[in-house]
Structure 1
Amino acid sequence: MQLLIFFIAVLLCMLLTPIARVTALRLNIIDSPNTKLKTHKAPVPYLGGVAIFAAIGISMALFMVDSNIFLNSQQRGLLFSTLIILVVGLIDDIKGIRPVIKLSLQLFAAYIAWFHGISFMLFDQWYLNMAITLIWIAAMSNAINLIDIMDGLAAGVAGICALFVALLLHLSGDLFSSTLMFVLAGSCLAFLIFNFKPARIYMGDTGSLLLGFLLACTVAQWASGQQSGQHLIVPILILGVPLFELFFVSILRMKAGKSPLMGSQDHFALRLIRMGFSVKRTVLLTYACSVAFGAIAFLALFFHRFTYVLVALTLTVVFFLARRLSQVK
């Protein structure tokens, strides 16, 4: 059934994305290259995130009807908080929102999710679990948003991450969440048909915040059901590319005396371009890194003896790559 729902999500996103593109053009919801941070040459319509959301929503509704599943408290909380994120992203794409306000609304949506039971269970104190859950969800939402700076980059990486997370959840027996991740992956892969270079539509903050939020929430659900804190390493590795970007950009901006919330051209992908890589090669290389992170995560999951060795080797490689990229002006 999950395989069928996956392909339904792919088909729906393929059908809905052109509709979203036409709608965005008619409503003039476009991304114009009117600042130095935007490198595309011609205006590109937004609302790709709305198509992704619709494909995910319809696919999950069909799955629930077929499986005779009713939303529990956690799932209702996830739905409500996801709608908040969707609205925040949509307003930001249309009118723009100040970074501090946008972050506050993301934390509010994360709180709604936590209040309904989506939470890490690392500490005995509820407020510590709440704090780390809110920080994690907001961080991951913005991590996907940060890598959405190049045709096909965010959608492809999010789709790869979702496939690995779906496998994790499937192995743990969480049918609803694993199906959600398969559906998210299918929607992202279908969206790439229109978003890979040269992009005919962007997902915008509507899509990037949505994808990051759903990935973060499902990872928190998976981790809360694990008995060993060692398993936290697995989802962190799976989401290694967006998390690398988050820390890489934040550290460089703070070293330069800038706010991590303010945009700048210090993304790792843009630095690869300045090193001589083409856009397509940069995107494909990032995909390969995301697959490698996922593969290492599953090695760590099944071969516990080598977990810390794998992590140490991975961190060593990441450190040297970060150092090399940071030297690119």
Structure 2
Amino acid sequence: MIAIGLQALFGFALTAALLLLLRRPALEAGLVDRPCPRKRHGRTVPLIGGICILLGFASATLPLDFGLRDYQALYAGMTTLLIAGVVDDLVDIDARAKLGLQVVAALLMTAWGGLVIADLGSLLGPGIALPLGNWAQPFTVFCVVGLINAVNMFDGVDGLAAGTVAAALAWLVIAGAVGGAGEWAVLAGLLLAAVCAFLLFNMRNPWRRRASAFLGDSGSMMLGFALAWFAVEAAQGPDAVLPAIAVAWILALPVFDALALITRRLLRGCSPFRADREHLHHIFYRAGFTAGQTVCLLIGASIAYGGIGVLGAYWGLPEWLSLLLLVALLGAHLALHARAWRSATLLRRLLRWGRRGSARGRASSTLR
């Protein structure tokens, strides 16, 4: 455990160092995100998060005392999407080409890595399994591509996508540690360390008012793929530590946001990949929340969702009941998006009520 902790610290430090070292080369090469009317940041920011996270993670895994041959497909898929994302960040490749490369990465995971969602668990009742049989590989490819795009679409505020991925990885690592999982939990923990290093440069805090590095498409797609890999490992195979429905809770927030956005866009006759300002975080913006408050609230929601899934599984919550609760939560998210302006008005009132309560508390403590 001490050795793994030192490797995580090394991956964290290397990722942070690379974020400092690669900033100027990225600016010179044009690997940057420039301000535009759709984006809230007011300056050019290097898109090096994905590169630094992958290099930090890969370097931290090299000294591991177990073989990484079984994870060649993981590295290949992450590298494929990183390169595709870097090219897209530089020259804007076609959305269909990106989708094709995402499918390639998912096929690397299923065909080369041999990792598929073979069983959905006891969603219909105790002892009633739901094996997918011949549908296992196409269903897994669909889910992996969906999660890649969900994380990519969720990357709209400083720290949101990476923070949500970090929360999901943390729950998977905790479940793996408690459940006695093997190699995948160690790799997930090392990736978590690299993502946390990136958050120091990406997430707003009292010492950093603006992000100094972004994930870019390269980072968000790569992290979406890696998260899908570890999520499937957590719920399938000999090292499974959670039922599939618990893992669905861990991944719920970005997936729900993507489903709501895609549904609205298709109903309007627009492309599901068309960028807009109708994400969940935009509703919080309209309500008056700052970017930092919005990110904290949404990451908190992601942590809470993961807690429901993981703790519910350990406390014996029936899988069918967990599914019903998750479907109800999805319905609430869809309603929140469908009535975005009303939702923003309600959130604005709650924010004002909270501020008044805080002001009263400060006034009473001053009087004392």
Give 2:174's aligned residue: 167
Distance in 2 (alpha carbons) for counterparts of 1:200 and 1:305: 43
Instruction: Identify unmatched segments of 5+ residues in structure 1.
Output: none
2:81 corresponds, among 82, 85, 90, to: 85
Distance in 2 (alpha carbons) for counterparts of 1:195 and 1:317: 29
Q: 1:317 to 1:114 in 2, by over 3 A?
A: closer
2:340 is paired with a residue whose SS is coil
Q: Deviations over 1:174-233 (max 9, x none)?
A: 3321112111211111111111131111110111111110010121222222799x9110
2:67 corresponds, among 61, 70, 78, to: 70
Deviates more, 1:81-90 or 1:169-178: 169-178
Give 1:49's aligned residue: 50
1:94 corresponds, among 82, 90, 95, to: 90
Distance in 1 (alpha carbons) for counterparts of 2:86 and 2:54: 11
Alignment of 1:261-300 (within 5 A): 261-300=273-312
- Structure with greater Cα Rg: 2
Residue 144, structure 1, aligned to residue 151, structure 2: yes
Residue 113, structure 1, aligned to residue 121, structure 2: no
Distance in 2 (alpha carbons) for counterparts of 1:262 and 1:76: 33
Amino acid at match of 1:209: M
Deviates more, 1:302-311 or 1:159-168: 302-311
Give 2:338's aligned residue: 326
Distance in 2 (alpha carbons) for counterparts of 1:173 and 1:113: 23
Distance in 2 (alpha carbons) for counterparts of 1:87 and 1:40: 25
Give yes or no for contact 2:184–2:230 (8 Å, CA) kept in 1.
yes
Q: TM-score, normalised by structure 2?
A: 0.82
Amino acid at match of 2:111: F
Give 2:348's aligned residue: none
Give yes or no for contact 1:275–1:328 (8 Å, CA) kept in 2.
no
Give yes or no for contact 2:245–2:322 (8 Å, CA) kept in 1.
no
Amino acid at match of 1:97: I
1:70 is paired with a residue whose SS is coil
RMSD: 2.1
Residue 7, structure 1, aligned to residue 14, structure 2: no
Q: 1:320 to 1:124 in 2, by over 3 A?
A: closer
Give yes or no for contact 1:20–1:50 (8 Å, CA) kept in 2.
no
Amino acid at match of 1:224: Q
Amino acid at match of 1:91: V
Distance in 2 (alpha carbons) for counterparts of 1:270 and 1:18: 30
1:39 is paired with a residue whose SS is coil
Q: Deviations over 1:139-181 (max 9, x none)?
A: 1111111111111111111111111112233344433211121
Amino acid at match of 1:259: S
Distance in 2 (alpha carbons) for counterparts of 1:29 and 1:124: 42
Amino acid at match of 1:214: A
Q: 1:259 to 1:203 in 2, by over 3 A?
A: same
Q: 1:37 to 1:70 in 2, by over 3 A?
A: same
Q: 1:140 to 1:317 in 2, by over 3 A?
A: closer
Distance in 1 (alpha carbons) for counterparts of 2:55 and 2:102: 20
1:33 corresponds, among 16, 32, 35, to: 35
Give 1:316's aligned residue: 328
1:259 is paired with a residue whose SS is coil
Residue 177, structure 1, aligned to residue 177, structure 2: no
Q: 1:321 to 1:82 in 2, by over 3 A?
A: closer
Q: 1:311 to 1:129 in 2, by over 3 A?
A: closer
Amino-acid identity (%):
26
Q: Give aligned pairs, total.
A: 322
Shift of 1:314: 4.8
Amino acid at match of 1:270: H
Amino acid at match of 1:7: L
Residue 188, structure 1, aligned to residue 176, structure 2: no
Give yes or no for contact 2:260–2:333 (8 Å, CA) kept in 1.
no
Instruction: Identify unmatched segments of 5+ residues in structure 2.
Output: 120-130, 205-209, 342-368
